[in-house]
């Protein structure tokens, strides 16, 4: 089963994304604390990390991405950054830190599910035909890469 490490300090959003990812068949490991999530990523070895850019306490999503990229155990795990920020500097910083995808909030949980599927299909060399047409269209429309 594909696993997702979900890092969001806001319980309502975290629970909503957890529920949708779980309903889509993913094993979800939710964290409110990015520091703990960083350490857990090494032990859990998730297939994808989904983290909010702005955290209530350090590290933020960019620093979490940097730390994961420096660690041999986590440096190949795809990372999705979720943010409400439309600043180009934030997007550039996330990309230069090594995130694989950058999604603007608010977005429907289905888009996050589609993005996780897209990133895991790249790792597993699966074609877009395995996604529903709605999921694939959502990913292409939002141009997350």
Average pLDDT of 9-31? 95
Residue 127 zone, left/alpha/beta (φ > 0; ψ -120 to 50; rest): beta
137 has pLDDT over 60: no
Walk across the sheet containing 79-83 and list its strands: 27-31, 3-7, 48-52, 79-83, 101-104
- Rounded CA-CA distance 112/93 in Å is 21
**Percent of the chain whose predicted confidence (pLDDT) is above 70:** 83
Domains and CATH numbers, the chain: 3-108 (3.40.50.2300)
If one compares 2 and 133, the residue with the highest pLDDT of the two is: 2
Q: What's the pLDDT tens digit per position in 80-112? A: 999 988 889 988 999 999 999 999 998 889 999
pTM above 0.85, yes or no: no
Average pLDDT of the segment spanning 55-75? 90
Nearest-Å Rg of the Cα atoms of the chain is 14
Return the pLDDT at 55. Answer: 81
């Amino acid at each position: 089963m594909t696993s997702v490490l979900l890092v969001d300090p806001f319980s309502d959003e975290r629970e909503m994304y957890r529920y949708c990812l779980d309903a889509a068949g993913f094993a979800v490991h939710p964290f409110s604390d990015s520091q703990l999530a960083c350490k857990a990523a090494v032990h859990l070895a998730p297939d994808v990390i989904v983290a909010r850019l702005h955290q209530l306490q350090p590290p933020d999503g960019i620093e979490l991405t940097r730390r994961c990229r420096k660690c041999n155990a986590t440096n190949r795990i795809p990372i999705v950054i979720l943010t409400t920020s439309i600043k180009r500097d934030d997007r550039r910083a996330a990309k230069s830190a090594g995130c694989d995808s950058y999604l603007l909030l608010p977005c429907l949980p289905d888009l996050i599910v589609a993005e996780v599927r897209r990133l895991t299909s790249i790792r597993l060399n699966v074609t877009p035909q395995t996604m529903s047409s709605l999921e694939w269209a959502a990913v292409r429309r939002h141009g997350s890469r």
